[in-house]
Structure 1
Amino acid sequence: MGPVRSRLEADPERLAHGPVAVLHAIADSVVDRYLDVVTALEADAEDVENDAFSPAVGQEVGRMYQLKRELVELRRTVVPLAAPLRDLAERRVPGVDKELAAYFRDVADHLAQAAERVTVLTELVDNALTMALAQTSIQQNHDMRRISAAAALIAVPVAIAGVYGMNFDHMPELRWVFGYPLMLVSTATLVTVVYLVFRRKKWL
């Protein structure tokens, strides 16, 4: 409150309006600080919007939620001041003359700008958060496809080895001289075919 007091003491004409002039000075200072906070949050929101399209977007979701909470809290602080300032600007409060009413209208306009900017920022962060969650979901689906494809590649040789590892006496090609090489070639061929199928589907 020190700067507010200094400004009032340096302006005796305004101070002569009495307590309402002090109220205006305080309201003006508070709204100016709100605008400073909004400006700082705009820079954060711009960073968040850019991060929504980055490969590491999943790591930024928490930051987006935090920024959204800050905007919600700021809006809860800004919006309730609109009605009292409007009453002061329209001289519905005793002790407000025309000159002070004009000052209060200026403060009310600044508050409206702050509220509008907060609304725009909230929508921007909401959109960025939606995009980030969508990107994260797409990445998770892609990872699951890669894991499924890898499991399928492993399953082919495991299945063949499992069949020939059952120790039956009468199995096709068990005592055939080319049985073992054929099994290796067949396994490699099947794995290659499965791999190419998944590559064509862009799962690998």
Structure 2
Amino acid sequence: MSLVDIAVYLDGVRVPGAGTLPEAAAQARELGGFVWLGLLNPSDAEVQQLGEVFGLHPLALEDVSQGHQRPKLERYDDSTFLVLRPARYLPDTELVEFGELHVFIGPNFIVSIRLAEHPKLSGMRQDLEQQPEVLRLGPPAVLHALLDRVVDDYEPVVRGIEKAVDEIEDELFDGSGSRRQLARRIYLLSREVITFQRAARPLLEAIKDPHQVEAAGLTQVELRRYLRDVVDHLIPICDRIDNYRQLLQNALTVHLSLATQAREEEMAQMTQTSIEQSEAMKKISSWAAIIFAPTLISGIYGMNFATMPELDWGIGYPLAMLAMGGFAVTLYVIFKRKNWL
């Protein structure tokens, strides 16, 4: 069996020699105490054995075997089934790693089943064993400790997300980093926040509603006090994570607006450059045309052929110069009027 720990507690004190699961369950019933069983990734056969020993409902056992359940609180016959989604923040990747914790609680037993390595509950059990006055309250005290541990672990997640959101806001307005990387960071963090909401919000709704708590069979006065304590811690966490989701949505909208504005400014700059280049080409083309006519005439009469028209014409040279100047001046006036020069 993927057993982490098993113990029988009587009057808040651990009874030595719990033995196997059936033996521990029988010992708890005989002594009037309760058994606390911790499992990690149990096999289907082990889950089936749990059902046989504690009389657990097949539908709840099916949820354990399949995993990937959302937080919920359900009543089956004489036992209550609770699904928790522990979480921890990974600052290097800005991702939230989620675990899955299933809890069965009955009159004389509590079973905690982890479907992931996180969170490790051995330290919590040791702390409770140092407080026999708390364990004397029975399975409700252990249930409160499990809930409190999961909710307390949410706080570092919220702080990590808050830090990442602050960095995104700074990066958004100081222009550091590439637009593509920033958009990807906002999107990925938004996805983690939404997933975290799906872990925390249903848990709050389950344990906050007194009718749902009563329907789940958690009618002990002391347990309800414990649940109110957990609710008081969970409400501000859910409120903060809701705010961070809205902030990230606003940041993505602002980022898209800034990116669009930057693209428009870039297009305007390119258009202005194109206009300036066009004006320069007009000037170059105009001067080229002005120079073309004199160059053509001088080029023709510079070919040094023996027989060419007007070679012996006395006024040929002054007339050629006048023609070249006339062409040049005429084109200059035309281009000037068109603002090409």
1:6-45 map, 5 Å = 6-45=126-165
Structure having the larger proportion of residues in helix = 1
| Residue 94 (structure 1) shift | 3.2
User: 1:34-68, CA deviations, whole angstroms, 9 ceiling, x for partnerless residues?
Assistant: 12201111111111122221224624222111111
| Residue 178 (structure 1) shift | 9.2
C-alpha separation in 1, matches of 2:207 and 2:213? 10
2:112 — aligned with what?
Answer: none
In the alignment, structure 1 residue 62 sits paired with structure 2 residue 184: yes
Structure 2 residue aligned with 1:106, among 224, 229, 240? Answer: 229
| Residue 137 (structure 1) shift | 1.0
In the alignment, structure 1 residue 139 sits paired with structure 2 residue 268: no
User: 1:50-88, CA deviations, whole angstroms, 9 ceiling, x for partnerless residues?
Assistant: 222122462422211111111111101111111332257
User: For residue 146 of structure 1, what is the amino acid of its counterpart?
Assistant: Q
User: For residue 9 of structure 1, what is the amino acid of its counterpart?
Assistant: E
Relative to structure 1, the CA distance from residue 73 to residue 90 in structure 2 (aligned partners, 3 Å threshold; closer, same or farther) is closer
Relative to structure 1, the CA distance from residue 141 to residue 91 in structure 2 (aligned partners, 3 Å threshold; closer, same or farther) is closer
Question: Could you tell me whether the CA contact under 8 Å between 1:89 and 1:105 is conserved in 2?
Answer: no
Q: 1:17 aligns to what SS in structure 2? A: coil
1:196 — aligned with what?
Answer: none
2:117 — aligned with what?
Answer: none
In the alignment, structure 1 residue 151 sits paired with structure 2 residue 271: no
Structure 2 residue aligned with 1:85, among 199, 203, 207? Answer: 207
Structure having the larger proportion of residues in strand = 2
Relative to structure 1, the CA distance from residue 160 to residue 105 in structure 2 (aligned partners, 3 Å threshold; closer, same or farther) is same
| Residue 162 (structure 1) shift | 5.0
User: For residue 62 of structure 1, what is the amino acid of its counterpart?
Assistant: R
Question: Could you tell me whether the CA contact under 8 Å between 1:88 and 1:104 is conserved in 2?
Answer: no
Relative to structure 1, the CA distance from residue 77 to residue 89 in structure 2 (aligned partners, 3 Å threshold; closer, same or farther) is same
C-alpha separation in 1, matches of 2:175 and 2:160? 25
Normalized against structure 2, the TM-score is what?
0.47
User: For residue 79 of structure 1, what is the amino acid of its counterpart?
Assistant: R
Normalized against structure 1, the TM-score is what?
0.75
Structure 1 residue aligned with 2:243, among 111, 120, 125? Answer: 120
Q: 1:52 aligns to what SS in structure 2? A: helix
| Residue 121 (structure 1) shift | 1.0
Relative to structure 1, the CA distance from residue 140 to residue 85 in structure 2 (aligned partners, 3 Å threshold; closer, same or farther) is same
Relative to structure 1, the CA distance from residue 23 to residue 190 in structure 2 (aligned partners, 3 Å threshold; closer, same or farther) is farther
Question: Could you tell me whether the CA contact under 8 Å between 1:61 and 1:132 is conserved in 2?
Answer: yes
C-alpha separation in 2, matches of 1:146 and 1:132? 21
1:153-192 map, 5 Å = 153-161=276-284, 164=288, 175-176=324-325, 179=328
In the alignment, structure 1 residue 3 sits paired with structure 2 residue 116: no
Structure 1, unmatched stretches of 5+, are 192-204
1:197 — aligned with what?
Answer: none
C-alpha separation in 1, matches of 2:153 and 2:211? 20
C-alpha separation in 1, matches of 2:263 and 2:156? 39
Aligned residues: 184
C-alpha separation in 1, matches of 2:163 and 2:211? 32
Q: Which has the higher contact order (CA 8 A, sep 6+)?
A: 1
User: For residue 66 of structure 1, what is the amino acid of its counterpart?
Assistant: L
Relative to structure 1, the CA distance from residue 31 to residue 87 in structure 2 (aligned partners, 3 Å threshold; closer, same or farther) is same
The structure with more radius of gyration: 2
